[in-house]
Structure 1
Amino acid sequence: MKKIIFMVAAVAFLGTYSATAQEVAANAKTEIKKEKKEKKAKLPKVEGAGMVFENETIDYGTIPHNADGKREFVFVNNGNKPLIISNTQGSCGCTVPVTPKDPIKPGAKGVIGVKYATDRVGAFTKTVTVTSNAEGMPTKVLTIKGTVLPDPAATPAAGTTEPTKS
């Protein structure tokens, strides 16, 4: 008899737990959808072309010598007219941006690619200047930063000494 009562209690508990887990999952999905809608709604609408970046700074972190230096700045045209990017310019020759060729339609996403020359060792902070027809913001400065580690083959191994010249 005790076994039957225990099994009935266990089944009732698991049934309640299962229903609760399903409710939690459904609520989580609803919250995610709600956050996405709020995020979209938070983009200020602009009369004309607009440009809102997901991130205006890209942190490469600490990367190996000669690592892949390609990254992307993603943006949305939050205006009601096409966004035309007329120019992108890196702050030096080691920072090469890639400009979208076609106009970005209202509400559409665009990408500005950037490649940093990771053959240069040490910390870096560089900028990319974007020129466009964005209303109230025809010029926008984006930043990349990080540190490139030295090539392990170029540094002497620990415990070894360099030969001295006599």
Structure 2
Amino acid sequence: MKTIKITMLALTLALMSFTVAPTKTDAVKTETGTSPVSWKTEQIDLGEIPQNKPKTIEFEFKNTGKAAVIITNVKASCGCTATDYTKTPIQPGETAKIAATYNAAAKGPFTKTVTVTTNAEEASKVLSFKGTVI
């Protein structure tokens, strides 16, 4: 029994003496706080909209960077919203729009999102619109 305790103590001390060496990672150069995509607005309040009349919402942005921006994906949060967007590269200084057409079938308040992925930003941008169907 005494040898088990000594062995366990030695093993514990041996494990505590190991250190983990930092691993080398590839640094990715990013500019924080400066995005080449400048959105006119990221949230739109539609107020009251009539039932059974689809409503199109447009989110406009400008390429303020030095390289072309390509929209790689636009995804609505539900099947009640269809999206359309510029498929060609947006050159520096140019503007473009993301269109979301909401099918206002059900009465009541709603909040919907559209997620936009571009080659210019690591994280996707989530745009939203809300209102009340009357």
* Structure 1 length-normalised TM: 0.58
**CA displacement 1:116-142 (0-9 Å, x = unmatched):** 01112110001000010124x441000
Q: Distance in 2 between matches of 1:62 and 1:103?
A: 35
| Letter in structure 1 aligned against 2:124 | T
Describe how 1:47-62 pairs up with structure 2 within 5 A.
50-62=36-48
Q: Which has the higher contact order (CA 8 A, sep 6+)?
A: 2
**CA displacement 1:95-130 (0-9 Å, x = unmatched):** 222121101010100000000011121100010000
Q: Distance in 1 between matches of 2:103 and 2:54?
A: 9
Q: Distance in 1 between matches of 2:42 and 2:82?
A: 16
- 1:54·1:73 contact (CA, 8 Å) conserved in 2? yes
The answer to whether residue 126 in structure 2 is matched with residue 141 in structure 1 is: yes
The answer to whether residue 86 in structure 2 is matched with residue 110 in structure 1 is: no
Larger fraction in strand: 2
Q: Distance in 1 between matches of 2:67 and 2:41?
A: 22
| Aligned residue pairs, count | 102
Q: Distance in 1 between matches of 2:91 and 2:123?
A: 17
Give the aligned partner of residue 22 of structure 2.
none
Structure 1 runs (4+) deviating above 4 angstroms are none
The change in CA–CA distance for 1:45 and 1:106 in structure 2 (over 3 A counts) is farther
Structure 2 residue ranges without an equivalent (≥5): 1-32
Give the aligned partner of residue 10 of structure 2.
none
- 1:45·1:78 contact (CA, 8 Å) conserved in 2? no
Q: Distance in 1 between matches of 2:80 and 2:49?
A: 16
Give the aligned partner of residue 33 of structure 1.
none
The one of 62, 77, 82 aligned to 2:68: 82
Structure 1 residue ranges without an equivalent (≥5): 1-43, 150-166
